[in-house]
Amino acid sequence: QVQLVESGGGMVQAGGSLRLSCAASGGTFSRYNMGWFRQAPGKEREFVAAITWRGGRPYYADSVKGRFTISRDNAANTVYLQMNSLKPEDTAVYYCAADRDSGYTLSPGPPAYDDWGQGTQVTVSS
């Protein structure tokens, strides 16, 4: 099992930027595909971005493509989500998640992920 702790959330005006971090402990982080998801009040958890265990082939939801960038530092056991040009509709709790079993296949579906962090709130004001 992998323990995941997100940080970097906060409140920002529309058009601003935030960088989320997710620190992992336990397990072998460098072998796991990692994903970011978000959940707004009253809505289902939705996929944001994912990256393979080697750091290649990032995969984004259409709603964030061109604005968000996922990256990872395997030496630091950390995955990041750089969020630029933020919009009010980006407001949500953001979660990172580890997929320990899928090799080079990235999945946008929450059931594919084995371990989840507790989430960090991002609020974008208009």
Provide the pLDDT confidence category of residue 105 given band limits of 50, 70 and 90: confident
- What pLDDT does 46 receive? 97
Q: Residue 12 above 80 pLDDT?
A: yes
**Reduced 3-state DSSP string for 71-121:** EEEHHHCEEEEEECCCCHHHCEEEEEEEECCCCCCCCCCHHHCCEECCCEE
Chain mean pLDDT for the chain: 95
- What pLDDT does 35 receive? 97
Tell me the pLDDT tens digit for each residue of 26-66.
989 999 999 999 999 999 999 999 999 998 889 999 999 99
The token pair at 92 is 């949500």
Residues above pLDDT 90, as percent of the chain: 89
Nearest to 49 by CA among 72, 28, 16, 31: 72
